[in-house]
Amino acid sequence: MSASASPLRQWQLMLPLALFFTVFVLLPLLLLGYISLHNDMELKQAGVAQYFKFFGDEFNLGVLGQTLWLAARTMLLALLLGYPLAYFFTLAPPRWQRVLILIIVLPLLTSAVVRTFAWVVILGRQGIVNSVLLSLAWIESPAKLLYTSSAVTVALAQIEMPLMVLPIINSLSRQDPHLREASLALGAGRWRTLLLVTLPLSLPGLLAGSLLVFAAAASAFVTQTLVGGGQLMYMPYYIYQQAIQSNNYPFAATIAMVLLVAVLVIVTLVNFAGRAVKGVAHA
Amino acid sequence: MPAHTLQATDLTLTGISHRYANTQAVADVNLQVRPGELIALLGPSGCGKTTLLRIVAGLIRQSAGHVVIGGQIVDTLPTHERGAGIVFQNYALFPHMTVAANIGYGLRAAGVAKPQVAEMVTRMLALVKLAAMAERYPRQLSGGQQQRVALARTLAVSPKVLLLDEPFGALDKNLRLDMQIEVKRLQRELGITTVMVTHDQEEALSMADRIAVMNQGCVEQYGTPEEVYDAPETLFVAGFVGTTNLLPGTLASVAPAGPTVALAGGGTMVLPRARPCSSAGPVVLALRPEHLRFAAPDEPGLDATLQLSLPLGALTVHELALASGAPVKVITPRNGEGVRPMPGDKVRLALTDGAAPAVFRGS
């Protein structure tokens, strides 16, 4: 080894990624913030009027609230369905796990548009659900399933499910299997073991999955728009509408910044809360 | 003073077999453990001892055979209904609960009221001498302390059978001895039927009332430490337990002096008895190092060249080589009388008084 070939210092190794992050994430965000701090559409006058405009109008706050509430509902539904799926995965024999992981990851391998259109087909007036309900004579005419907030929640929960399931699987797999066995041997049944031992110790994964789904659901433009339809307004579509249709870039940028900060604040708060609990639930 | 009186339970395994995919992990094991007895399942890795333990605990459903605890067939009972407490090598303490919560876990699961749970926890902590650690978390304890908590946690629910899976493997040597004594003392005091899995033969020989030596899923011998050491029933047991010189030869049982083995490496040995194989033919003689001594050239025995002598406290370990080159270990008392050969000398080895080496059928 020659004298000039010294091992790379840590900061040198971080450089490529840091550069990428700066150029493609940080700078656009700063640009966004810059644009939002203008009072007029021609970007001639600087100011915070856009923010006052946003927070001063009930409609805007409603859109923000609806978006965050959608994200929360999606997160809960994904959690309710995703945890059992993850738990079942860890108990399955290796042969089954290979099949299951493919099924779980599949949504990530297809485009969001394709997945969303599948839901449009499923929930449409002539879709699968309506057809089944009609043939069972449970309803007399096709029900309006599509273009409801519930439809968006369900579709989003399914589409973002891998983001919930994978961190939980990771957390569960790293748990010492003897812990569960010890609990059983002490006389605690399977449910008690799950609630008192397995679940608390999988909290880190649970939290990670929940926050990922929350953030993803809040900004899921395609699904919100296609499954929600024109009457349900969420922040991402609002941004699009203001920027592309109304050409009001400062206001659109403001909406984007508000959404960003709102989600960040919630994620940070939940993270802090989680860490306090984690202090006890840590191995 | 015993922490609580236990009705000692017996444990019987009949015809236990278990198969994983292509391997036979356990093959037709029959064992009987008397109430209050401590037995060891001893064997090398992969011999099926841990699988057998897990079958008793109910963590594995065996392919065939029955587990009977206290006269009751428990095959269909899930783990949490069997009353078999298990302590793992890594203790598996619940990291998110205090020591007190860990110990009280089983009692709370059984629905015992809080005050009684607290009282039992205090008693168990006193039993394992960890009263000051009640509110600590497992990660704040040393290995030995964690093991004592694991024991206390298991004993708190008064299990019918106590199962230990290589319990001392994670401890350093000095601590191991202390904990072995501690566990043996507790086990005796409480009179709880115990099955211990270990690959450490010294541990098994010192702690167990009886040892089941296992190899490739089968129990090769089940007896007291003395029986297993002095009268091994198979070649594997002779080789696995303690040090043994395994020398091939031919047995001629009809001889005026007694069973005689003509060794392949040269020389003859006259034995007091030929067991377990007593029929004439090719055999393997299992001579323990302490069965041999240096003898006069006219005594029956075998010839070897001394290579090395290592003094070890009150004993000396000698490494010799037969004419065929095969190594032989001999142990003599350091201050014994008789011949004192030097490295390089040719010596004659004969049996010590009372030595009864085992004879196995050879190929």
Number of alpha helices (DSSP H) and beta strands (DSSP E) in chain A: 16, 0
ipTM comes to 0.85
Whether A182 shows a pLDDT value over 90: the answer reads: yes
- Please write the tens of the pLDDT for every residue from A90-122: 989 889 999 999 989 988 888 888 888 888 889
Residue A245 DSSP symbol: I
> B110 vs A181: CB contact, 8 Å cut-off?
no
Percent helix, percent strand, percent coil in chain A, to nearest 5? 75, 0, 20
CB A90 within 8 A of CB A167: no
Ordered by start, the domain boundaries in chain A are: 58-282
> A201 vs B80: CB contact, 8 Å cut-off?
no
- Please write the tens of the pLDDT for every residue from B60-108: 999 999 999 999 999 999 999 999 999 999 999 999 999 999 999 999 9
> A178 vs B85: CB contact, 8 Å cut-off?
no
The pLDDT score that the predictor gives to residue A87 is: 93
Greater confidence (B340 vs A255) lies with A255
> A178 vs B84: CB contact, 8 Å cut-off?
no
A181 contacts in B (CB within 8 Å)? 57, 59, 79, 86, 88, 92
Q: Which residues contact A88 (CB under 8 A, 6 or more apart)?
A: A100
The pLDDT score that the predictor gives to residue A282 is: 45
Distance CA B158, CA B3 (A): 10
Cα A119–A123–A128 angle (5° rounding)? 100
> A280 vs B88: CB contact, 8 Å cut-off?
no
Percent pLDDT > 70 in chain A is: 95
Bridge partners (DSSP) listed for residue B294:
B349
- Burial-class residue A167 by CB neighbours within 10 Å (0-12, 13-18, 19+): buried
CB-side exposure of A222: number of CA atoms within 13 Å? 14
A182 contacts in B (CB within 8 Å)? 86, 88, 92, 94, 153
Average pLDDT, chain A: 89
Distance CA B335, CA B84 (A): 50
The pLDDT score that the predictor gives to residue A272 is: 87
With CA atoms as reference, the chain B residue closest to A186 would be B106
* 3-state SS track over A32-83: HHHHHCECCCCCCCECCHHHHHHHHCHHHHHHHHHHHHHHHHHHHHHHHHHH
The pLDDT score that the predictor gives to residue B253 is: 66
In A136-248, alpha helices (H): 149-159, 161-173, 177-185, 190-193, 199-201, 203-218, 221-228, 235-240
Respond yes or no on whether the N-terminal peptide bond of residue B276 is cis (omega within 30° of 0).
yes
Query: Does the predicted model carry a pTM greater than 0.95?
Result: no
The pLDDT score that the predictor gives to residue B1 is: 34
| CATH of A58-282 given 3.40.1190.20, 2.60.120.260, 1.10.3720.10, 3.40.50.720 | 1.10.3720.10
CA distance A86 to chain B (A): 21
pLDDT band at A229 (very low <50, low <70, confident <90, very high): confident
Residues of B with CB under 8 A from a CB of A: 57-59, 78-81, 83-86, 88, 90, 92, 94-96, 105-106, 109-110, 139, 153-154, 157
Nearest to B10 by CA among B58, B68, B65: B68
Tell me which residues of chain B have a pLDDT lower than 70: 1-6, 253-255, 257, 336-339
CA distance B13 to chain A (A): 19
> B59 vs A179: CB contact, 8 Å cut-off?
no
- The H or E element spanning position B286 is strand B281-287
